[in-house]
Amino acid sequence: MVSMILNNLSQFPLEASDPEERFITSGVSWEAYESLLASLGDRSSFRVSYLLDTLEIMSPSRNHELDKENIGRLLEAYLEENRIRFWGLGSTTFRNRDKQAGKEPDECYCIATDKDIPDLAIEVVYTSGGVNTLEIYQRLGVKEVWFWQDNQFRIYYLQDNNYQQISQSQLLPNLDLALFAQYVTINDPLEAILEWRKQVRSN
């Protein structure tokens, strides 16, 4: 099973202009999932998700990675300027055998205190379909999930073991996400971070 999956991954194109590629297969045991993770090691070119017996592997596009990096830098600048303690865990693999769920976020953070599971996970979405991302995060116990799609954020907060879509972050209630989104879309990352820090300081 693992060798078959790895063979399929070798067919993924890696050109900068290519869109995201997804490989999805069902009937994958937990043992096969963990064996695949071990085989891939720290190869950051893939994001692996697992829910029950379904496995999804995504090869992100160049634009996907640009947005991911921009969001992370801008969010960390906001946290720094507001003296909010955080632990950035990037695309760390989080998994729970009992819940049969595993995920590698695009970005994720523990807020205020370090924890085994992040408080916040961020997903950049360029293509739809695949496994149910919110169900994976619900099984893992991530408090808040941000989806970046079509140049805007959709926010979900875990309440009574179910996600509710909300208009404002509960973890960072003073962060103006509509304004934040404007800086994410600035083409020059240096200009974006410098202007964003000025904006945060002025508030």
Domains of the chain: 2-202 (3.90.1570.10)
List phi, psi (to 5°) of 26.
Answer: -110, 175
Among candidates 202, 197, 168, 192, which has minimal Cα distance to 78?
197
Q: What is the pTM of this model?
A: 0.89
pLDDT along the chain (203 residues), means of 10: 54 54 92 92 79 93 92 98 97 95 96 97 87 96 97 96 96 97 96 97 91
As a whole number of angstroms, the distance between CA 39 and CA 124 comes to 25
Q: What contacts 80, CB < 8 A, 6 or more positions away? A: none
pLDDT of the residue at 187: 93
Position 81: which residue type?
Answer: E
Predicted local confidence at residue 203, as pLDDT: 84
Residue 131 neighbours by CB under 8 Å, 6+ apart: 24, 49, 50, 51, 54, 56
Report H helices in the chain: 2-9, 30-40, 62-81, 133-140, 177-184, 189-202
Determine the pLDDT at residue 16: 43
